[in-house]
Structures are given as structure tokens and as C-alpha cells.
Structure 1
Amino acid sequence: MKKYKGCLCQIDLPLTYKDNQCKLPICPQASGGFKWHLHHHHHRRSSTASRFTGKFENSFSISYLHRSREMAAAPTAKIRRSRFVIEPEEAEQMRKEKGLETLRDLLPALLPAARQLARPPISKFHVGAAALGSSGRIYLGANIEFPGVPLHQTIHAEQFLITNAALHSETSIPFIAISELPCGHCRQFFQEIRSASQIQILVTGDFRPLSDFLPNPFGPSDLLHEEVPLLLEPHFNDLIEEVGEFGGELEERLRKAALQAARASHAPYSGSVSGFAMADGEGKVYAGSYTESAAYNPSLGPVQAAFVAYVVAGGGGGVGGGGGALGGG
């Protein structure tokens, strides 16, 4: 087994899920709750780090890891196809059945169903989003809110959408439809995608370029060199590993998933690459990568990204499960 240099702390968190409203964290249908692992690394030039270990009842793991900046193929979490992902063949069949000219015309027809997937127990305001990837897949997104915690933990529908695409190794999303006008937070989040200004977005009427929604953007080009990989592009954050004995088979799978997610995280501004992995009561593992924004605050944490993976895979009261695509409208 491997141990990773840094700070390690373990703790168990309770879970609740009632009346189709999610508490933080979201509870799986299976009993027994989640186990967690988070790998976090703040970039330093030094090759050493202080370390302590504390163990409580179960397993919430945090590790601060050393890394160097390298580009390579980014491994992503393996999650089964769900109602949040429509495969190219199915998308094409849906287009034909609706008599639409192009696949992008299918996106607004999917928004009513996407909105139904939202989980906003605080605001009661449902937002749905749909995107066409260059792979031909269609991805759906919906907003998720968590009662009893600060509002910045909220996952916007557009953030869910982009994270869903990244989980499936999508390389670009040229067309996006959204049920509501995107907030400034999300318009800024889109800037992390290369050539973001050319992404075509539809709210009402026709598709319009993102540059119409954010005409004078601040983004990666203001802070980074052109060769730095952006969101939806391959990342590899090389992390130093230290051999050690930690937990059993599930804990090892969680550690590997969290490490893999940390290696794929997009953190070019702080160098604080992070990955989070959690397992449900059936031992299924879901992982998420940290995604930074040039504007800092719109960044999406790895815990939220892991929840996206969990929901996309059908977790949390059955919403999003079933293995089939959503019907449109």
C-alpha cells in the first residue's frame, strides 16, 4: 500500500436524506453511510512537509501532497451512464423522432426534464442545463443546494454540467442550453474552457456566443501562459508518494481514486491540487477533482465535484438513476 506525504486526518460524518431533500452530505440509498478520502496538496518548492495523523470513528482522509506541473492524459472517475448522459446514438434517435434539423436543436427540448433533476431545498428555484459535446454526447446539469451549511457550497447547474462533461473526458462543449439566464458566477466559470467566448449559449430565442453574455471577460489569458492546460484539457499533477500501511481494501480504493482525481484537478492559480473520493454503503466509489477559476471565488471544490459524480451515477434517492436518457419536455 501507499501513503502520501502530508497531513492525514480521519473522521466519520453522519448522513441524512429525507423527503427527496438532500442534507450535506447526500445520503445513498444503501444503509451504512459514506466513507471519504480527500487528497489535497498546496504547491511548495520545498520537498518536505509536516505530518500528523488523527483517527476517529471512520474514514475521512485529507492529505497534503507534493507535486510538479506536468501535462499528460488525465485519468477520470469511471461512472456508469445515467439519465445525466445521453449517448450519441440515442441523441441522434431523439433528434429524428422530434423532427429536428441538428443535435443542438435538441438541447432546449431537454431543459424541462433537466430542471426536474434539480435539488434546491433552500431556494425552491430549479435550474436545468444541457450541453452538446464534441463527442456527440449530450450532458445534463441541475443545481444542488445543501441545507444547514454556507451557501457557497451550492452547485450551480452550469458547474454541474461542466463537471459532468469532465467526468466523461469530454474535450469541448460548443453548444449549451440553460433554463435561466446564467449568473455572473457561472459566466465566469465558463471562462476556464479554452476559446470560451465562442461557446454558443441558448436561454431563449437563438444560440448566442458567450461573449454576448460576458463581453469584457477576465480569465486564464490574464494570468496564465498559453501552454497551461485549461478545463476539459488533459492534466497530470505529479504527486510524491510514500509507502505505508493504511486501512483495508476499500480505504485503498478510496485513496487511489482521490489521488487520481487530485492528479486531474485544474488548479493553475494556487497550485493547490485536490481530489476527493467517497464510497457508499455498497462500496461504490465516486471521485471529484478541484476546479479553479481565474476569478477565484467561482472555483468548485472536489467535494462538490464528487457529489456530482455520485448524483450522475444515480445516487441520492434514485434521482438521475435508471440508466436511460431523459425525455425532453
Structure 2
Amino acid sequence: MASATFTVQQDTALTNSHFTLSVAQTASLRSQLKSQRGILNSNNIKVLCAQLNVSDDVLLQGLVPLASEYAVAPVSGFHVGAIVKALDEKGEVNFYFGANVEFDHQALSLVVHAEQSAINNAWLNGAKKIVKIAISDAPCGYCRQFMNELADAKEFDILLPDQQFKLAELLPHSFGPTDLGNEFSLFNPKPQQGNFSFDGLDETLARFALNAYVPYSQNFSAVKISTFSDGDFYGSYAENAAYSPSLSPLQSALSQFFLAGLSFNESTVKGITLLETAGRENQSQVAKAVLASFTHLPALKVISAPLK
């Protein structure tokens, strides 16, 4: 496909069993979510809860249909939304939205699942503790395994439209980081010391790479998507003990890109850069496979740099 486009219904109200947002209120919220790249901060949440006279948990579940609108699903046509309720470094509650992203004419294993998208959004934007995740549909086994890598895997609640679970109920007898001798986890990674040895390296890209969660390959890596007029989008590599549910740095960055409501095409994208750890590289072919879904994009720039 030539481009992947984000679309929403701009002239509809949001209605559920607990509250109703008018057409104007819903449109305003959609605009806010685009500008904040799929995040509602604590002040946003408090204002909405006061306006609607609901708790933040009711609001959390009520907004899931909006999260689904961010989905890019050219293969399945199945739009899934998820929202993570998490605490930031100040202990404030924020909502981090996510949705599935698919790539036409590419292996289905390359898709970004909605739960991955929301968790990635929280992780990249400094969330410290996941409290709940609300999802429009039951999580598949892939997503359950991805969530099992989280520091809060045994604690947070999984909220479906009419049910609530702990992860252990959905993934009994699980395989996780400790089975591979890894005492760390996503949101509680092993501190990375040092930096990349590469002249002129984008400092922000390097920071996202160093913040990657890569206990199994040690390939600290990240992707930067530069746009002509909408800023830069970054993604970090997030590995999983089961390997397959790992989220590549390009998938991570693309998920952030679509949460801003942008179209992924030559009119928007100025450049795409992948940074990998020299001697540990494993992401360039994955990135090229994903990008093969699109035409007329700038060539992927790959930087391999040693750590010092």
C-alpha cells in the first residue's frame, strides 16, 4: 500500500452505558488526543471526571472506543483499542492510548497489537507503574505473553467491556523473564551505563536506544521517524522472554506516529533512522520488511555504533 492513513469519525458523539459526550466534546477530545499523541494526563482526566461525574476507572473504560479509532487494519479490518492507566514519576494517573497497526502485504507477525501499543506508549513516555489496562476485546495469547514481561504483571487489572481479570487468570503456568535468569523486566530494566561511540549521533535517538529493554540480545536500539511539519517520533526495542512478542524499535516508533493521527507517506515522512549496537545488530531486516509495505518513502538510514 502506498500509505497508511489514520481516520476518525469527526461528527459523532461518544456514548456508553455510563456517560455521553456530545459531538462537540468528542471532537475536542479527539483533537486533544492527537496533539498529545495518545495521552491524557492527570489534569485532563480530572476535568473529564468532574464534567461527567464519573470515576477515572469508569472514564478509562468509556474511552476505549476512541482508542480503537487509531487502529490501522488493512488486513483484518478489525479495530482494537486499549488504554493503560499508569502512574508517572510524581504518582499521578495518566491514560496512555493504543491501537493495532497492520502492514499490508507483509507477514502478520509484524503487526503491532493494541495492548503492545498502549504499553509502549506508557513506557516511552515515562510511566513508572501500570495499574490497569482496558481493552476493547479479550487479549490474544501473544499479548498475554507480552504483558507477562511487565514489572507489574502480577498486580495490574485487565478490564474488558464486561469482565475483569488478573493476568495470572488468563496466562496460568506462565513462562517469563525469570525462566531465562533475567531478574529485570519491562518498566524495571537493568540500568545501562555508558554511551554510543559515534560522532554527530542524535542525542535523543541515542537516549531512546539506551533506554531499550534488551536483556536477551543486548542490542540497544531505537528508531527515529522525522516528519516535515509534525516533529519527530521515536521508538525503542522491547524484548520478550518468549522472543516472538518482542516489539521492534520501528514498530514502537510507528505506533507513536499513528497515535498522532498522521498518514505514513512521502508527504509526511522526511526520514527514518535506525540505531543499533555494533556487534549485536538484528533489526535492520525487520525494519526493511515493515517499510516494504509502503512506497516512495525515504530510504532507511542504519547506524551501527559501539557502546563505550
TM-score by length of 2: 0.69
What secondary structure sits across from 1:104 in the alignment? helix
Alignment pair present for 1:212 and 2:169 = yes
Aligned residues: 235
Gapped runs of 5+ residues in structure 2?
8-33, 265-308
Q: Hey, what's the Cα distance between the residues in 1 that align with 2:4 and 2:141?
A: 32
Q: Hey, what's the Cα distance between the residues in 2 that align with 1:294 and 1:203?
A: 25
2:100 is matched with 143
Q: Hey, what's the Cα distance between the residues in 2 that align with 1:283 and 1:138?
A: 22
1:106-157 CA distances to partner (integer Å, 9 max, x unpaired)?
Answer: 1210111111111101100000011211231111110011112222221100
Aligned residues of 1:127 and 1:180 also touching (Cα < 8 A): yes
Work out which of the residue numbers 149, 167, 173 in structure 2 matches 1:192.
Answer: 149
2:2 is matched with 16
1:166-211 CA distances to partner (integer Å, 9 max, x unpaired)?
Answer: 1210011111110011000000000111130221011132432111
Q: Hey, what's the Cα distance between the residues in 2 that align with 1:240 and 1:18?
A: 35
1:118-197 equivalent positions in 2, closer than 5 A: 118-134=71-87, 135-197=92-154
Work out which of the residue numbers 253, 257, 280 in structure 2 matches 1:310.
Answer: 257
Aligned residues of 1:237 and 1:262 also touching (Cα < 8 A): no
Alignment pair present for 1:110 and 2:96 = no
Aligned residues of 1:169 and 1:232 also touching (Cα < 8 A): no
Aligned residues of 1:235 and 1:265 also touching (Cα < 8 A): no
- Name the CA shift for 1:283/1:85 in 2 (closer, same or farther; >3 Å): closer
Aligned residues of 1:132 and 1:138 also touching (Cα < 8 A): yes
Q: Root-mean-square deviation (CA), in Å?
A: 2.5
**1:273 Cα deviation after fit:** 2.1
What secondary structure sits across from 1:133 in the alignment? strand
Structure with bigger helix share is 2
Read off the aligned partner of 1:133 and give its amino acid letter.
A
1:68-121 CA distances to partner (integer Å, 9 max, x unpaired)?
Answer: xxxxxxxxxxxx952511111111222233332x31221210111111111101
- Name the CA shift for 1:118/1:240 in 2 (closer, same or farther; >3 Å): closer
Gapped runs of 5+ residues in structure 1?
1-14, 22-79, 247-251, 318-329
Aligned residues of 2:4 and 2:72 also touching (Cα < 8 A): no
What secondary structure sits across from 1:303 in the alignment? helix
Q: Hey, what's the Cα distance between the residues in 2 that align with 1:240 and 1:204?
A: 44
1:277 is matched with 224
Aligned residues of 1:236 and 1:263 also touching (Cα < 8 A): no
Work out which of the residue numbers 201, 207, 213 in structure 2 matches 1:266.
Answer: 213
Q: Hey, what's the Cα distance between the residues in 2 that align with 1:240 and 1:113?
A: 39
1:326 is matched with none
1:31-42 equivalent positions in 2, closer than 5 A: none
Of all paired residues, the percent bearing the same amino acid is 32
Q: Hey, what's the Cα distance between the residues in 2 that align with 1:212 and 1:183?
A: 13
1:44 is matched with none
Q: Hey, what's the Cα distance between the residues in 2 that align with 1:272 and 1:241?
A: 12
1:88-103 equivalent positions in 2, closer than 5 A: 88-100=42-54, 102-103=55-56
Bigger relative contact order, structure 1 or 2 (CA pairs below 8 A, ≥6 apart): 1
